[in-house]
A and B are shown apart, each in its own frame.
Chain A
Amino acid sequence: MPGGGPERARPPFRTRDDGPVLFELEDVTATRAGRVVFEGLRAGLADGVTGIVGPSGVGKSTLLRLLNRLADPTVGTVRYRGRDLREEDVLALRRDVGLVPQLPALLEGSVADNVLYGPRLAKRGADVAGSLRLAGLDLAFGPRRADALSVGEQQRVMLARTLALQPSVLLLDEPTSALDDTTKSAIEATLRDLRDRLGLSFVLVTHDLDQAARLADRVLVLEPGALREAPAAAAPNR
């Protein structure tokens, strides 16, 4: 881990039937732009890598935003490791449950400025080189201007700056949607590496069922009002 934090290796992946539940959604209703996105959603997301797929507009991104409280449900409760999210300190929660948004949204300044941003706010030290390396970038990127990078590189900087906070969970919103096939494969390899080396839990939202199957231990399909197991054909095949 960047900065060499406490050992956070966790046991091999266990399903929610026999392992710890990371997130629980209890009768959750969410609205966006005055429209009900989903209603009465009940689900458990286990430790490990959960892929969430579904057609656009069904509320995948909205669901992700509920997990680190960028938004709150209008009705219902979301629990993180058994605790109501509303009882958590919201800033500490967001550092522990890091969200990487769909489109790059970097700050002005250098790549290093971006990587150091979160840790500085939290008054922590950070290992820029280590975070960049984990995201598949070398240290030479540090002084480069963030807005002069390619979209794929920006996506990696987004990942690096979230990793610099040493989160235990990563929420990934369509991490490769803006990328070409080559870059997409490279990012997927980076994500697999993070999963295997750091034992991070991911909640990965994607419209690409194959990608979910390649990366996730368990794939759920978000349908209007329900989060279901993916059909067997789409089961993880790694």
Chain B
Amino acid sequence: MTAAIQIGLGDVAATLALVAVAVAVAVWERTDLEGDIAVAAARSFIQLTAIGYVIKAIFASDSIVWVVLLLAVMVVFGAVTARARAKRVPHAFWTLLFALAIAATATLAVILALGVFPTKARYLVPVGGMVIGNAMTAAAVALNRLGDEIHDAAARIEATLALGATTTQAVRPVARRSLRSGIIPLIDSTKTTGLIFFPGTMVGMLLAGASPIDAVRLQLVLLYVLLGAVALATLLAVLLSRRAFFTAEHQLREMAPPQSNLGA
């Protein structure tokens, strides 16, 4: 990164004009979204400002302990958030916690082992955050689908069990579809990157004054890292969760109706 750009609070405040456009559209078209837009704008300001100061402090200390702690907190919040989407999956929190933690650890370990980035907070925090965020989204989509599919296909799954199939055999088509639904969005966005949209990292680097070629290379590294991380997290989440729907005697457990308000 060469010349980092300076953005004052005034610049941020000025862009609220565009939030006002969004609110105006909501009011004009009576979409009843103006409250949500205001909350989203306020929350993003508070959350990002807070994490900005946390990251600033961690960068200043450059201590790996703080980096690990921050990433651990991200994993916990990621698991809590994803669990809210996986309402039909028993014990989803612990499964997600494990899947996200393994995906983040394994991915960062590979990056460090390959020497792509030095072991410094400046690299590990943003990359770790991206890995955890993407893994969370993918795992949540996959588990949401898994729960819905097992619920909807209960009759077919039981008919298959009745033919002497094991739990793993009976749930295989459903697990496969869930896995695909978690991973496909990232594959699609990876396919179209540069054609339909510019990914955030590249945009950030260009804005910060980096050369386009550097920006592209870093973006490619991150895209490939994310593919691995997302595949790993989704696989772990689906493999661990599918067992929770069955007893050890290859019986489909009765499914509780989805809980309506799981705190995220």
Partner of B155, one of A72, A95, A105, A165: A105
Is B162 close to A, CB under 8 A? yes
| Closest chain A CB from B95 CB (angstroms) | 24
Q: Give A85's nearest chain B residue, CB to CB.
A: B249
For A32, what are the chain B residues with a Cβ–Cβ distance below 8 Å? Answer: 254
For B162, what are the chain A residues with a Cβ–Cβ distance below 8 Å? Answer: 68, 70, 94, 98-99, 101, 162
Contact with B along A63-95 (1 / 0, CB 8 A): 000001111100000000000000000111011
Contact with B along A203-220 (1 / 0, CB 8 A): 000000000000000000
- B159–A101 contact, CB under 8 A? yes
| Closest chain B CB from A46 CB (angstroms) | 22
Q: How far is the CA of A43 from the CA of B225 in the complex (A)?
A: 62
- B164–A121 contact, CB under 8 A? yes
- A118–B164 contact, CB under 8 A? yes
Q: How far is the CA of A227 from the CA of B25 in the complex (A)?
A: 66
Q: Give A104's nearest chain B residue, CB to CB.
A: B159
Is B221 close to A, CB under 8 A? no
Is B243 close to A, CB under 8 A? no
Q: How far is the CA of A227 from the CA of B141 in the complex (A)?
A: 46
- A94–B161 contact, CB under 8 A? yes
- A90–B163 contact, CB under 8 A? no
Partner of A70, one of B156, B161, B166: B161
- A90–B159 contact, CB under 8 A? no
Is B173 close to A, CB under 8 A? yes
For B34, what are the chain A residues with a Cβ–Cβ distance below 8 Å? Answer: none
- A70–B251 contact, CB under 8 A? yes
Is A17 close to B, CB under 8 A? no
- B159–A72 contact, CB under 8 A? no
| Closest chain A CB from B23 CB (angstroms) | 45
- B164–A72 contact, CB under 8 A? no
Q: How far is the CA of A158 from the CA of B169 in the complex (A)?
A: 18
Q: Give B165's nearest chain A residue, CB to CB.
A: A121
Interface residues of B in 39-61 (CB under 8 A from A): none
- A161–B251 contact, CB under 8 A? no
For B160, what are the chain A residues with a Cβ–Cβ distance below 8 Å? Answer: 105, 107, 117
Is B122 close to A, CB under 8 A? no
Contact with A along B148-176 (1 / 0, CB 8 A): 00000001101111111110010001000
Interface residues of A in 112-127 (CB under 8 A from B): 117-118, 121-122
For A72, what are the chain B residues with a Cβ–Cβ distance below 8 Å? Answer: 249, 251
Q: How far is the CA of A105 from the CA of B252 in the complex (A)?
A: 15
Is B180 close to A, CB under 8 A? no
In the A-B complex, the 4 residue pairs with the closest CB atoms: A118-B163, A105-B159, A105-B156, A99-B162
- Interface residue ranges, A against B (CB under 8 Å): 32-34, 68-72, 90-92, 94-95, 98-99, 101, 103, 105-108, 117-118, 121-122, 158, 161-162, 165
The 23 listed contacts between A and B (C-beta, < 8 Å) are: A69-B251, A70-B252, A71-B251, A72-B249, A90-B249, A91-B164, A91-B165, A94-B164, A95-B163, A99-B162, A101-B162, A105-B156, A105-B158, A107-B156, A107-B160, A107-B173, A117-B165, A118-B164, A121-B164, A121-B166, A122-B164, A162-B162, A162-B163
